[in-house]
Amino acid sequence: MPNDWSSCDGRGWASTSDSLQTGPNMTSGESQERGLSRRQAVLGAALGGLAWASAPRTSLAQLAVRPNRAESEADLLVYVFLRGGMDGLNAVIPCAEDDYHRSRPALRLASPKDRGAAQADRAIDLDGFFGLHPALASLHPIFEQGRLGFVHAVGSGDQTRSHFEAMATVERGQPNDLTGSAVGWLARHLALSPTENGSPLRAVALSSMMPDSLRGATGASAITNLSEFRLDVPRVAGISSERSLRDTLANLYGHGTDAIAHAGRETLKVIDSLARVDPAQYRPQNGAAYPASELGGALKQVACLIHANVGLEVACLDRGGWDTHFAQGSAGGLLASQLADVGDCLAAFDRDMAARMKRISVVVMTEFGRRLHENSALGTDHGRGSVMMLMGGGVRGGKVHGAWPGLMPDKLDGPGDLRVTTDYRDVLSELLAKRLGNNKASEVFPAHLPRSIGAFA
């Protein structure tokens, strides 16, 4: 991959795995000058790293500051959506509830102090009431250290128990509109955010498809693989250079007003920005090892973009496979392996980001939780309330937030579901105001009066 951005984070960060201690390499005035190549001049302010490139080499503390957004002091958001309805009751388990154990004879996890059960089959105690699924064990130290918290019995007002309605409701951030034209909540946030960030990589979805939460956002891209995000010029005698093809494409896409013409122009900008990022060279810090899963690969790419200082503000990731109607398992099995992947991925990210976690907020959520009672196929059907995971320096961690509604039959919702006591918009509004520097949450989530949760500092 061509990489003519040799002075700063393009090659500098990639080739030195110890750069955490020294910051992006800026070793001499000469390299600084070399760095200000023609491409930089052309791309100008579109590239977030430019200001950084000309800044003097400084201390560890400044690493955490994204240069183009230094004035905003806003967190970078990593938004992970678990698609299919994650069973919050078996992730952050209400161990002290008898009804939990009664309703799930096959799927239940044993309580932390249950001497009758093997250690591996027991939940990990969080606060004497809730326990963590043992598959999430890698998150426990982060919880203990206060960088990870949960909000339980959280959900949306959607009553259909339909994946698609519930996801659309959550991702649009407002009650379903039948026209289907509403933009996503993250798109509204980006439009209302006070930061001036012209980076084409301001918002990135690590998927081939743009999630609804980013629908209508400018400067949002869907990318599955950073290192493949370039024009793939076939090896044919006499074919044009990548540059020449790129320029003709820029002309072809120069003036159109349709959605594809617009997307094409954004794509060209992203190609230009990513030309100076070399993901193949990316080495996670502090011995962090990302699982070889899709989510692991995606989070590693997010880490790579963060290190490269390309102006990333919001990263969206998806992980499917939570629709566990059948044989979801208990301490082992389907759900356990799903949870283990999420836990191990988040733990690797936390370790990799280290001090940078101070200015990063990770939010993990799903469209709904699952029925309290297990079904005859030893799975669970669509329910209501589930759990949100929050990780980052600004999280009030070490705590399970939210009002617990209880699991007694009269406390359940509809056919036997965990009642929703916290609207997901309460959590996200607090995130916007306290961590993302956006005090217009009422416009991001219209028709919602947020209540304080106290999940973010």
Partner 1 sequence: MKVARRDALGLAAAAGAGVLASGCDRLTRGLTHPAAPASIALPTGAVAPLARLLNRVGYGPRPGEIEALGRQGREAFIEEQLHPNDEEEPFLALRLRAIEALRSNGLELADLPEWHILAQLQQAALLRAVYSRHQLRERMVEFWTNHLNIYARKGQLTYFLPTDCEQVIRRHALGRFPDMIRASAHSPAMLGYLDNQVNRRIDKSGGGANENYARELLELHTLGVHGGYTQKDVQEVARCLTGWTIESRFWRQRGRFRFDPDFHDDGPKRVLGQDIAAGGGVKDGERVLDILCAHRSTAKFISEKLVRYFLGRDDAPWTNKLADVYMKSGGDIPSMLKPLLVSDDLLSGPAILKRPFDFMVSALRATAAETSGGRPLQEHLAKMGQPLHQWPMPDGYPQKTSAWTGTVLARWNFALALATGSIAGATVNLTDLLKGSNSDDASAASRSLVEVILGDRAESNSGLVELISTHIGAREATGAPGETIIAEAGALVLSTPAFQWR
Binders of partner 1 in range 126-185 (CB under 8 A): 159-165, 178-180
Q: Which is nearer to partner 1, 326 or 446 (CB)?
A: 326
| Smallest distance, partner 1 to C-beta of residue 378, A | 8
Q: Which is nearer to partner 1, 51 or 263 (CB)?
A: 263
Cβ-proximal residues to 66 (8 Å cutoff; 6+ apart), any chain? 48, 76, 309, 311, 312, 359
Mark the segment that binds partner 1 (CB under 8 A) among 72-80, 94-102, 137-145, 208-216.
208-216
Cβ-proximal residues to 71 (8 Å cutoff; 6+ apart), any chain? 195
Task: Among 267, 309, 338, 429, indicate the residue that binds partner 1 (CB under 8 A).
Answer: 267
What's the 3-state SS for the chain?
A: CCCCCCCCCCCHHHHCCCHHHHCCCCCCHHHHHHHCCHHHHHHHHHCCHHHHHHCCCCCHHHHCCCHHHCCCCCCEEEEEEECCCCCHHHCEEECCCHHHHHHCCCCCCECCCCCCCCHHHECEECCCCEEECHHHHHHHHHHHCCCEEEEEEEECCCCCCCHHHHHHHHHHCCCCCCCCCCCCHHHHHHHHCCCCCCCCCCEEECCCCCCHHHCCCCCEEECCCHHHCCCCCCCCCCCCCHHHHHHHHHHHCCCCCCHHHHHHHHHHHHHHHHCCCCHHHCCCCCCCCCCCCHHHHHHHHHHHHHHCCCCCCEEEEEECCCCCCCCCCCCCCHHHHHHHHHHHHHHHHHHHHHHHHHHEEEEEEECCCECCCCCCCCCCCECCCEEEEEEECCECCCCEECCCCCCCHHHCECCCECCCCEEHHHHHHHHHHHCCCCCCHHHHCCCCCCCCCCCEC
Site map (CB under 8 A) of partner 1, residues 50-89, x = contact = ---------------------------------xx-----
Q: Which is nearer to partner 1, 52 or 100 (CB)?
A: 100
* Residue 364 identity: V
Closest-CA residue to 50 (of 110, 80, 10): 10
Site map (CB under 8 A) of partner 1, residues 374-413, x = contact = xxxx-x-xx-------------------------------
Residue 205 sits in the site that holds partner 1 (CB under 8 A): yes
Task: Among 51, 70, 231, 354, indicate the residue that binds partner 1 (CB under 8 A).
Answer: 231
Residue 334 sits in the site that holds partner 1 (CB under 8 A): no
| Smallest distance, partner 1 to C-beta of residue 137, A | 27
Give the C-alpha separation, 294 to 274, whole Å.
21
Task: Among 15, 17, 145, 248, indicate the residue that binds partner 1 (CB under 8 A).
Answer: 248
| Smallest distance, partner 1 to C-beta of residue 182, A | 11
Q: Which is nearer to partner 1, 142 or 183 (CB)?
A: 183
Task: Among 233, 334, 354, 433, indicate the residue that binds partner 1 (CB under 8 A).
Answer: 233
Task: Among 41, 118, 259, 447, indicate the residue that binds partner 1 (CB under 8 A).
Answer: 259
Residue 221 sits in the site that holds partner 1 (CB under 8 A): yes
Give the C-alpha separation, 378 to 206, whole Å.
33
- Cβ 302 vs Cβ 206: under 8 Å: yes
Task: Among 45, 415, 439, 449, indicate the residue that binds partner 1 (CB under 8 A).
Answer: 415
Largest CA distance in the chain: 75
Mark the segment that binds partner 1 (CB under 8 A) among 68-76, 86-94, 206-214, 357-365.
206-214
Site map (CB under 8 A) of partner 1, residues 15-54, x = contact = ----------------------------------------
Mark the segment that binds partner 1 (CB under 8 A) among 34-42, 125-133, 342-350, 373-381.
373-381
Mark the segment that binds partner 1 (CB under 8 A) among 5-13, 62-70, 226-234, 446-454.
226-234
Residue 293 sits in the site that holds partner 1 (CB under 8 A): no
Task: Among 128, 175, 194, 256, indicate the residue that binds partner 1 (CB under 8 A).
Answer: 256
* Residue 54 identity: S
| Smallest distance, partner 1 to C-beta of residue 379, A | 7
Task: Among 18, 38, 56, 236, indicate the residue that binds partner 1 (CB under 8 A).
Answer: 236
Q: Which is nearer to partner 1, 212 or 278 (CB)?
A: 212
Mark the segment that binds partner 1 (CB under 8 A) among 72-80, 219-227, 297-305, 433-441.
219-227
Mark the segment that binds partner 1 (CB under 8 A) among 58-66, 290-298, 325-333, 350-358.
325-333
Mark the segment that binds partner 1 (CB under 8 A) among 50-58, 100-108, 195-203, 225-233.
225-233
Q: Which is nearer to partner 1, 63 or 205 (CB)?
A: 205
- Cβ 393 vs Cβ 146: under 8 Å: no
